[in-house]
């Protein structure tokens, strides 16, 4: 997969940004800048696919998988009811992604509107794990979510 897809995204992105302001940006900043509120600029797809693939590969480890422990398991149980319910929802998101795309477990911190002086800090209840699916190269970074797992 590296030689056919991932490397092509890297090579194409490098060609697209060489000599531009984007050449000095982090990969995440290239993604956020070129997402352009959904009006994608040319480097977006390559940048996001490079990030998505790197995140996917770095999420794996020999003997990995299975039920997590600690704080992550507590959050999964809180937000999905059980680990089994999370797995079911995650698999369903992946299986029903039409065409090219990704399924994600992400941490979503509900954001307050600017100028909300009555409650300037979100409570713990405002923060939650979500399963989302994204088309093509789009990833949760563009919504200011923290990706935790993808397939």
**Of 39 and 111, more confident:** 39
Q: How many Å apart are CA 42 and CA 54, to the nearest integer?
A: 20
Residue 135 tokens read as: 């088309």
**Of 87 and 110, more confident:** 87
Q: In this structure, are residues 47 and 13 in contact, taking their beta carbons and an 8 Å threshold? A: yes
Is 1 among the annotated ligand-binding positions?
Answer: yes
- Return the bridge partners of 113, or none: none
- Check residue 112 and give its pLDDT: 47
The structural domains of the chain, ordered by start, are 1-60 (1.10.287.990), 70-114+121-151 (3.55.40.20)
The model carries a pTM of 0.85
Convert the pLDDT of each residue in 40-54 to its tens digit. Answer: 999 999 999 999 999
Q: In this structure, are residues 110 and 144 in contact, taking their beta carbons and an 8 Å threshold? A: no
Range of lowest pLDDT (18-32, 67-81, 110-124): 110-124
Is 53 among the annotated ligand-binding positions?
Answer: yes
Backbone angles phi, psi at 75, to 5 degrees: -70, -40
Q: Which of 39, 4, 5, 34 is nearest to 17 (CA)?
A: 34
């Amino acid at each position: 997969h590296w030689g056919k897809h991932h490397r092509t995204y890297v090579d194409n992105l490098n060609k697209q940004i060489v000599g531009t302001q984007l050449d000095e940006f982090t990969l995440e900043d290239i993604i956020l800048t070129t997402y352009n509120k959904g009006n994608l600029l040319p480097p977006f797809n390559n940048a996001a696919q490079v990030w998505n693939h790197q995140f996917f590969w770095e999420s794996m480890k020999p003997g990995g998988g299975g039920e997590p422990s600690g704080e992550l398991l507590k959050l999964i149980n809180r937000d999905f009811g059980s680990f089994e319910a999370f797995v079911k929802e995650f698999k369903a998101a992946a299986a029903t992604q039409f065409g090219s795309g990704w399924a994600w477990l992400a941490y979503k911190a509900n954001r307050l509107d600017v100028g909300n002086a009555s409650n300037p800090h979100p409570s713990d209840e405002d923060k939650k794990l979500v399963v989302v699916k994204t088309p093509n190269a789009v990833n949760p970074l563009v919504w200011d979510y923290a990706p935790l797992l993808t397939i």
